[in-house]
Amino acid sequence: MPGLPISCRGCCRAPWPPACCFLGEPVGADRLHALGALSELALEGGSFDAAMALADRLGRGPSATQGTIKALVNSAATQDVFTQLDAERDAMARAQGSPEATEGIGAFLDKRAPDFEKLRSAT
């Protein structure tokens, strides 16, 4: 899919519309959402509020894990598949003993929402 980094090519469920690839014509947000290139859509005039709500959700998440995921996504564009798979395997092994994993698994077992913010205030 032209225009997408290698690391993002697997996230779209269908090929890009030919008009986009061959003619450089724009693709609407609804179509991009259907293809999986956009995770969420906002009502007209509501994009700022939607972006802030998404940022708030991300801010309550497991920040160390999010950083690792971001690094893995970024490295996928420059590494061969076997090196990338090794990096992902190693990251998963490191994460298993992390405080974020302990909190996430504990929250699941206790049937409650995880509280990753308490981990940030403890450091």
Q: What is the mean pLDDT of each run of 10 residues along the chain (123 residues)?
A: 44 58 80 84 93 92 93 88 92 93 95 92 63
Amino acid identity for residue 39 in this structure: S
State residue 6's pLDDT score: 46
**One domain, residues 37 and 49:** no
Dist CA 63 CA 60 (whole Å): 8
86: helix, strand or coil: helix
pTM value is 0.67
**One domain, residues 29 and 56:** no
**One domain, residues 21 and 54:** no
Are 120 and 63 within 8 A, CB to CB?
Answer: yes
User: What is the domain range of residue 4?
Assistant: 1-41
**One domain, residues 75 and 121:** yes
**One domain, residues 122 and 63:** yes
**One domain, residues 37 and 63:** no
As for how many domains the chain has, the answer is: 2
**One domain, residues 36 and 88:** no
* Residues constituting the chain: 123
118: helix, strand or coil: helix
**One domain, residues 51 and 24:** no
**One domain, residues 27 and 85:** no
User: How far out from the chain centre does Cα 14 lie?
Assistant: 18
**One domain, residues 56 and 86:** yes
Nearby residues of 19 by Cβ (< 8 Å), 6 or more positions away: 25, 27
